[in-house]
Amino acid sequence: MNEIKIFSPATVANVACGFDVLGFCLDSVGDDMVIRKVDKKGIRISRIEGFELPYETEKNVAGVSALAMYNAIDVDFGFEIEIYKRIKPGSGIGSSAASAVGSVFGMNELLGRPFNKTQLTEFAIKGEALASKCEHADNLAPALFGGFTLVKSVVPLKILEIPCPNDLYATIIHPQIEIKTSEARAVLPKEVPLADAITQWSNLGSLVHGLHTSDYDLIKDSLKDVIIEPHRSKLIPFYNEVKNEVLKAGALGASISGSGPSIFSLSKGLETAKTVKEAMKTVYAKSGIDFDIHVSKINTKGIKIID
Ligand code: HSE
| pLDDT of 132 | 78
**Closest C-alpha among 50, 154, 150 to residue 102:** 50
| pLDDT of 80 | 98
138 Cβ below 6 A of ligand 1? yes
Helical H segments across the chain, by residue range = 61-70, 95-110, 117-132, 140-145, 181-186, 194-213, 216-222, 229-232, 239-248, 270-285
Region 57-73 average pLDDT: 97
8 Cβ below 6 A of ligand 1? no
Q: What whole-number distance in Å separates Cα of residue 61 and Cα of residue 228?
A: 26
Q: What whole-number distance in Å separates Cα of residue 52 and Cα of residue 30?
A: 16
**Ligand 1, residues 14, 99, 134, 262: which to mutate, most atoms within 8 A of Cβ?**
14
Domains of the chain: 3-162 (3.30.230.10), 168-297 (3.30.70.890)
Q: pLDDT tier at 134 (50, 70, 90 boundaries)?
A: confident
- Residue 257: CB atoms within 10 A of its CB come to 29
Q: What whole-number distance in Å separates Cα of residue 141 and Cα of residue 111?
A: 21
Residue 307 has pLDDT above 80, yes or no: no
Q: What whole-number distance in Å separates Cα of residue 208 and Cα of residue 161?
A: 10
**Ligand 1, residues 95, 185, 255: which to mutate, most atoms within 8 A of Cβ?**
185
Q: What whole-number distance in Å separates Cα of residue 46 and Cα of residue 34?
A: 10
pTM: 0.96
Q: What is the pLDDT of residues 174-216, one digit of tens each?
A: 999 989 888 899 999 999 999 999 999 999 999 999 999 999 9
Q: What whole-number distance in Å separates Cα of residue 196 and Cα of residue 198?
A: 5
Our answer to whether residue 181 is catalytic in this structure is: yes
